[in-house]
Each structure stands twice: as structure tokens, then as C-alpha cells.
Amino acid sequence: MTDQARKRYQIRIMLAIAIYVVVLLGVWPLAKSTADAWLKALYALAPVPPILYVIWLMAQRVLASDELEQRTHLVGLGVAAAAASVFGIVSGFLAAANVLEPDAAAAALIWVFPLMIVAYSIGQLVSARRYGTTPCIEEGMPLALRFLYVVVLFAGLAAYLYYRKHNLDAASTALGMAVGVGVCAVGFSIWRHLRKRSSQQ
Amino acid sequence: MKNRVRELREKREWSQGELGERLAVSRQTVNAIETGKYDPSLPLAFKIGKLFGQRIEALFEFDEETR
């Protein structure tokens, strides 16, 4: 994959995620206040197309990879599948034993895809390191810029929930996510810097 | 597995990126092969051999210690 194609891929992913957040905030809440079953289902599933587009982009990316990159993608996929399975089993058992409220158990399913993406990236990163290569998350657009994008997205979400919806709990969660991603980004940058320095010595 | 990919590439004054383009793989994959961190598949090994006009056995040497 050329640098140009890589940048194009990352911009498309970022756009799809932005659309997902907008739909999640603007369209999905309408499902709760709509009586018509079809319209309710339509609003409830509105955030799915951007996610399907992201999955399609990722598949194209893997298909365009060479044999070594495909191997690291396979490890990432394996780690993601394991993480999603563990998450599913744990939340399923907790819900079956009524430890988790049915609403909470249903809401937990929304986190399966983000969890898979994070686990996939970690798996691919570890695998790529083994071969002395750079994982795809470190290529193309600067990583700091992409982290900043996620932080801004969560901070925007927190502001929307606080000022428009007056939902302090949800706004606090979104703000916590923004801070969490920011802290992870700083920690990751420090780790990369130290690793680079030790490899130069 | 030990190999002579770097030696042959440098003889032709190609960069890792250039070799990668000729083999339709990334520069990083070329680097992983040259440093012995990754053993290429048989089709890719044949492709490398064909590109350098060498037999596979002349390019790659099985290293018992790294197994």
C-alpha cells in the first residue's frame, strides 16, 4: 500500500467515525421516542452503516497487504476475536445471573466492536514488533494527530451531552474517555521515545 | 534462515523500497527478510531468486540454530 493510499484510508476511517458519532447523537436517540416499529428500527440501526463501511475499508486494507503484513493482521484478528469472546462470555454470564441489568447487558454489546479494534491494534503491534516492522497504526498520518482527533471527538461528545442534553453522567463518561485516550497517547509517545532511544544506543 | 538478499540488493544499488516495489511487498517486509526476522513464502522466495537471477539454494541457507 502506498503512502498516499494509506493516508486516504485513514482519512476515510476518521470521516466514517465522525459520521458514526453524529448519527449516534442526532438520529439514534429518536428511536426511543418513536412509536412506529419500522421507523424505530430504522433509527436504532442508523449507526450501523458507518461501521459496515469501516469494516469494508479494513478488509480492503488487509487484501492490499503483502504476506508479512497479512500475517501480522492475522495475529491482530486472533487477539481481537479472543478479547471479544471473553467479553461476550463474561457479560453473558453476568446477565444470565441477573448481576447485570438487561439494559446494561444490551448496551455492553455496543462496546464489542471498539474493544475488537483496540485488541486488534495491540495484537498487530506486538506481532509487527516481532518481525522488526512497523504496524499499520504507526504508518501514514502522524499517530499524535489521530489520537488528538479521538480526544476532540470525545470532548465534543461530552460538551454536547452536557450543554444540550444536560446529562451530567454521560458527559462525565465521555470526558473521562477523552482524558483516558489523551493519557494513553502521552504514555504511548513516551514509550516509543524511550524505545527509540534505547535502540539507538 | 540466513540469506544474501541484502548483499545482492546493494550490489545493484537498490534501496529496500525499490526492491519492495519490484517484489510487490513493503519496504518493511524486505527489511524483515534481510535481517532474517521473517522467512519469505516459497512463491516470494522464487520471485526474489528470479529477480536476482539466482537459485533459491544460492540465496537462502537453512540455519539450524535459528530454528
Can you say how many angstroms the Cα of residue A71 is from the centroid of all Cα atoms in its chain? 21
Which of the pair, B7 or A171, is modelled with greater confidence?
Answer: B7
**Percentage with pLDDT > 90 across chain A:** 23
Most confident by average pLDDT, A73-77, A108-112, A138-142, A173-177 = A73-77
Q: What is the pLDDT of residues A46-104, one digit of tens each?
A: 999 999 999 999 999 889 889 999 999 999 999 999 999 999 999 889 888 888 887 77
pLDDT (tens digit per residue) in A105-120 = 777 788 888 888 889 9
In angstroms, the CA B23 to CA B41 distance is 12
pLDDT of residue A23: 86
pLDDT the model gives residue A140: 63
Q: Could you tell me which residues come within 8 angstroms of residue B30 by beta carbon, excluding any fewer than 6 positions away?
A: B5, B9, B16, B17, B19, B20, B23
Distance CA A23, CA A151 (A): 18
Provide the pLDDT for residue A56.
94
Asked if pLDDT for residue A153 goes beyond 80, the answer is yes
pLDDT in tens, B25-58: 988 899 999 999 999 999 999 999 999 999 999 9
Q: How close is the nearest chain A Cα to the Cα of B53, in Å?
A: 22
Beta-carbon separation of A69 and B29 below 8 A: yes
User: For residue A133, which residues of chain B lie inside 8 Å, CB to CB?
Assistant: 26, 28-29, 31-32
Position A26 confidence tier, pLDDT thresholds 50, 70, 90: confident
B18 pLDDT tier (thresholds 50, 70, 90)? very high
Q: Which of A1, A65, A132 sits opposite B32 (nearest CB)?
A: A132
pLDDT of A11 > 60? The answer is: yes
Q: What is the pLDDT of residue A24?
A: 81
Exposed/middle/buried for A110, CB within 10 Å: 0-12, 13-18, 19+? Answer: exposed
Nearest to A132 among B26, B31, B40 (CB): B31
Angle subtended at Cα A183 by Cα A176 and Cα A88, rounded to the nearest 5 degrees: 60
Low-confidence winner among A15-24, A131-140, A155-164 (lowest mean pLDDT): A131-140
Within 8 A of B31 by CB-CB distance, chain A residues are 132-133
Q: CA nearest B23 in A: which residue?
A: A66
Mean pLDDT, residues B3-30 taken together: 93
> Could B32 and A133 be called an inter-chain contact, meaning their C-beta atoms sit closer than 8 Å?
yes
Burial of B11 per CB tally in 10 Å (0-12, 13-18, 19+): exposed
